[in-house]
Amino acid sequence: MADTFRQVWGAVKGHCPLASPMLAQYWSQQAYNKLCDMRPWSWLRAEGEFLINNSNTGLVNVTRGSASVNTTGITTGQLVMVASDQDRQFRVGTRAPMYTIITVDTVNQVYTLDRPYGNPSSPTGGSGATVLDAYLNAPSDFQRFIAVLDPANNWQLHIWVTEEELNTWDASRSSTGTPWAVVSRRLQTQGTFTGRIQFELWPYATSQKNYPFFYVRRPETLTDSTVFLGPLANASDVLVQLALAEAAEWPAYEDRKNPYFNLQLAQMKRKNVEAHIARLEVLDEEIYMTWLETQSWISRLQFAPVDSRYLQGHDGSYSGFGGW
């Protein structure tokens, strides 16, 4: 039967009775976090799916220097603002800049953008605008991508693309069509996904699509009922020893000293646990190979997604494909 977090912090408190349950849990959680940071363990692999919806177009009123968008006075062809537009992207025309819709007032037909609009104000009759899904918001526990797939076209999207590179290729962001790159962007600071890691999907998709993805997640906050997975399932003593190293560095209170306090013991426990962690790495490597994991030669092809049909129809050496 797999070990649980309750067993781990309970063992830590058994060795250091003066510690409160909260402190024993804290040490154990920190031990787990540090262990997870050492490699992309099998139990940290996760998957999700980005859903892209159809773009919407229509006429709106925008004012230079204002973050408010409305359709007041536009009688025909106006953009219909719906609640699901929140957190989607908005732009006038077919070129940058791109804005994110932070709130939607469906009664008065008003958007609030993430920053003031910067281009010229709308003429009489309004400006043509588009609402689309240009940005991807990663899961809250996201750490890094393993792969992003395009099932419709049977290929992987490029994931090691920087915003600086995209600025060189398409500074005006005028390209739409079949996306082939997931571009690093920034941390979201407004809207529903505040704090999430955000990426840019390029070229922009204007029709309904889905992109399954695999990623390495950050370590979760453990609870008493958390069951450890993979090689750690029956080897949670590694966490106990790492936590006890923290306990051995805790002198406790001025009037009540920690009997377990011993700096040499803390150092010895950290050293001894290294061999156990190395063994866990070997066991984990047998589940998913990562030691030889490198950036695929396919990911170095510029403006050329490659699928199985291309590989079957071309007889070329891997070294012949140039990078960007």
Q: What is the CATH number of the domain that holds 94?
A: 2.40.30
- At 323 the pLDDT is 42
Q: Which residues, in sequence order, are CB contacts of 199 under 8 Å at separation 6+?
A: 135, 136, 138, 182, 183, 184, 185
pLDDT at 320 over 90: no
User: Is residue 178's pLDDT more than 90?
Assistant: yes
Residue, of 255 and 83, whose pLDDT is higher: 83
Domain of residue 91 covers: 56-132
Q: Which residues lie below 8 Å from residue 55, measured CB to CB, with a gap of 6+?
A: 130, 131, 132, 133, 206, 207
Least Cα distance to 32 among 310, 281, 241, 287 occurs for 241
Lowest mean pLDDT, pick from 14-18, 84-88, 204-208, 314-318: 314-318
Kindly state the percentage of the chain with pLDDT values over 70. 90
Which of 91, 117, 132 is a domain's end point? Answer: 132
pLDDT number for residue 83: 98
| Average pLDDT taken over every residue of the chain | 91
Query: Does any domain span residue 112?
Result: yes
Q: What is the pLDDT of residue 289?
A: 85
Residue 272 sits in the same domain as residue 245:
yes
User: What SS3 class is residue 281?
Assistant: helix
Structural domain includes residue 68: yes
What's the whole-number mean pLDDT along residues 60-67? Answer: 98
Residue 296 CB-density burial (10 A; 0-12 exposed, 13-18 middle, 19+ buried): middle
Which of 49-53, 94-98, 320-324: highest mean pLDDT? 49-53
pLDDT at 301 over 60: no
More confident residue, 240 or 308: 240
Residue 305 pLDDT? 59
pLDDT of residue 72: 96
What pLDDT, on a 0 to 100 scale, did the predictor assign at position 306? 61
Find tokens 């403006």 and name the residue: 303
The last residue of one of the domains, among 91, 113, 132, is 132
pTM score, whole prediction: 0.87
Model pLDDT, residue 16: 96
On whether both 125 and 66 belong to a single domain, the answer is yes
In a domain, 240, yes or no: yes
**C-alpha distances out from residue 74 to 160, 194, 270, Å:** 43, 33, 69
What is the count of structural domains for the chain?
2
Query: Do 128 and 60 fall within a single domain?
Result: yes
Question: Over 90: is that where the pLDDT of 307 sits?
Answer: no
Closest CA to 221 of 38, 14, 30, 11: 30
User: What is the separation, in whole angstroms, between the first and last Cα of the chain?
Assistant: 50
Kindly state whether residues 227 and 258 are assigned to the same domain: yes
Looking at the structure, tell me whether residues 83 and 28 fall in a common domain.
no
Helices (H), the chain: 5-15, 21-36, 163-169, 237-247, 263-287, 308-313
Question: Domain end: 132, 163, 190, which one?
Answer: 132
The larger pLDDT score, comparing residue 295 to residue 139, is at 139
Least confident of 41-55, 65-79, 208-222, 310-324: 310-324
SS3 233: helix
- 70/102 same-domain check: yes
Mean pLDDT of 192-216: 96
Let me know if residue 304 belongs to a domain: no
pLDDT per residue as tens digits for the range 28-63: 999 999 999 999 999 999 999 999 999 999 999 999
| Percent of the chain whose pLDDT exceeds 90 | 86
**259-280: average pLDDT:** 95
Q: In this structure, are residues 248 and 269 in contact, taking their beta carbons and an 8 Å threshold?
A: yes
Question: Does any domain span residue 81?
Answer: yes
Residue 229 lies in a domain: yes
Check residue 303 and give its pLDDT.
Answer: 45
Residue 324 has pLDDT above 50, yes or no: no
CA 18 to chain centre: 39
